[in-house]
Homo-oligomer: A and B are copies of this chain.
Amino acid sequence: MNKHPEYEGWMRLALSLAEKGRGETSPNPLVGAVIVKDGNLIGVGYHRGLGLPHAEAEALHAAGSSAQGATLVVNLEPCNHDGRTPPCTEAIIQSRIARVVTGLSDPNREVKGGGHEVLLHAGIEVIEGVLEEECSHLNRVFFKYVTQRLPWVTLKIAQTLDAKIALPLPLSLRERERVRGRVQISGEASRVYAHELRAEHDAILVGVGTLLSDDPELTIRYAAPRGKPLLRLVLDSTLRSPVEAKIFQQTDQYLTWIATTDRSDPSKRKAFQNRGAKVILCSKDSSERVALADLLSKLSDHEIAALLVEGGAAVHTAFLQQGFADEYIAILSPALFGEGGLSSLCDTLPHPLRFARSHWNILSPDAVFRGTIAK
């Protein structure tokens, strides 16, 4: 069943190296490379970030002249084009590597010219398809971006066991809530996870309803800072957002964009621009809201490959209904809110949703579900 099981261990190492670049390489893929000779590891590398050397180049540099006659194992077909860095195929050929083992072909191949073919042509043995599914899953964001020119869209929801996202507070407490923001459902560990998720994405999106009810900061406070600024995006067809919302307080680490339609008041657009926010004027869908297809296409033009949608329920539902959601993350907390609790998207989702691939992660006292939506 498995192709070339003898390389699977090395490929797993390449995948775990590739993973280290998460959050920094977008819209480039995550790539890890290992160089093996006579069963020994003689070099490793991974793509650390946009504009930095590719994984293959790093690994070849580490191996030095020992690379001659060795095997290079890399999760993605080496590039064969001059981009932000020189082509990897050239470096591989020059280093006299004997064999190249890859997970799968670069989906860019038609456009850019096949790395595999160039290597074969140079007399290098090429083995493709080792742990193909894992390699494909790791770079799902990249693959969608280069083949469809659309960002990979991940919906994130924090809920109780009975799929409630909030519990209305008694009036006296509601006063307090205005001051300190929304009541947290999730525990400490999953709050850290939620911030790590933000750091993994190029942009995070919330609807204007969330902005009005929660006034979130949408910042990364409990995770390592990113190399490039995080884009915070508000979906607001008629510009109901208050200009004094926290999200419009600009800093070096964050950008704020607001997606709207021609239903919004031009003077209000100007007011947001004066606050340093970028206003994205999108076409309208049949319900006169921001057309998600147009918005996603515009985001893609700005090299936004990974978009995290943090709600609320109406926004999640719109992405699901229109088929623009690729992945679903639910953080489940140990409580039942009962009939008084506010429901998540689940009461408005018009059709069942199943997952092609999913896994659970326990972040006590919560559990995190993460699944790729079956199309």
In the complex the two chains form, is A362's CB within 8 Å of B362's CB?
A: yes
Question: B364, A338: Cβ atoms under 8 Å?
Answer: no
Q: Bound complex: CA of A339 vs CA of B352, how far in Å?
A: 8
Residue of B161, B330, B352, B365 touching A337 (CB-CB under 8 A): B352
Copies in the complex: 2
Does A359 belong to the interface (CB within 8 Å)? yes
Query: Nearest residue in B to A354 (C-beta to C-beta)?
Result: B335
Instruction: Verify A349–B163 contact, CB threshold 8 A.
Output: no
CA distance A369 to B331 in the complex (A): 13
Task: Render A360-373 as a binary contact track against B, CB cut-off 8 A, 1 for contact.
Answer: 10101101010100
Contact B335–A351 (Cβ < 8 Å): no
Closest residue of chain B to A369, judged by CB?
Answer: B161
A-side interface residues toward B, CB under 8 Å? 161-164, 167, 328, 330, 332, 334-341, 344-355, 358-360, 362, 364-365, 367, 369, 371
Please tell me if the beta carbons of B362 and A338 are within 8 angstroms of each other in the complex: no
Nearest 5 pairs of A and B residues by beta carbon: A162-B346, A338-B349, A336-B353, A163-B163, A334-B358
26 CB < 8 A contacts A-B? A161-B328, A161-B346, A162-B345, A162-B346, A162-B349, A163-B163, A167-B352, A328-B336, A332-B332, A334-B355, A334-B358, A334-B369, A335-B352, A336-B349, A336-B353, A337-B346, A337-B352, A338-B351, A338-B353, A339-B347, A339-B348, A340-B350, A359-B364, A360-B367, A362-B362, A367-B369
Given contacts A332-B332, A336-B352, contact A346 B167 (CB under 8 A): no
Distance, CA A347 to CA B343, complexed state (A): 10
> Shortest beta-carbon distance, A157 to chain B, in Å?
9
Assess whether B367 is in contact with A338, with CB atoms less than 8 Å apart: no
Instruction: Quote the shortest CB–CB distance from A342 to chain B (angstroms).
Output: 12
**A348: B residues at CB distance < 8 A:** 339
> Could you say which of A336, A345, A351, A365 has the most chain B C-beta atoms within 10 Å of its C-beta?
A336
Q: Give every chain B residue within 8 A of A162 (Cβ-Cβ).
A: 163, 344-346, 349
The residue on B at minimum CB distance from A371 is B334
In whole Å, how far is A346's beta carbon from the nearest beta carbon of chain B? 3
CA distance A358 to B366 in the complex (A): 9
A334 touches B352 (CB 8 A): no
Whether B364 contacts A332 by the Cβ 8 Å rule is no
In the complex the two chains form, is A164's CB within 8 Å of B364's CB? no
On chain B, the residues within 8 Å of A345 by CB distance are: 162
Roughly how many angstroms separate A350 CA and B337 CA in the complex, as a whole number?
A: 9
For the complex formed, measure the closest distance between the CB of A371 and the CB atoms of chain B, giving whole angstroms: 5
Expressed in whole angstroms, the minimum distance between the Cβ of A368 and any Cβ of chain B is 9
A197 to chain B, nearest CB (A): 17
Q: Per a CB cutoff under 8 Å, which of B338, B362, B364 touches A352?
A: B338
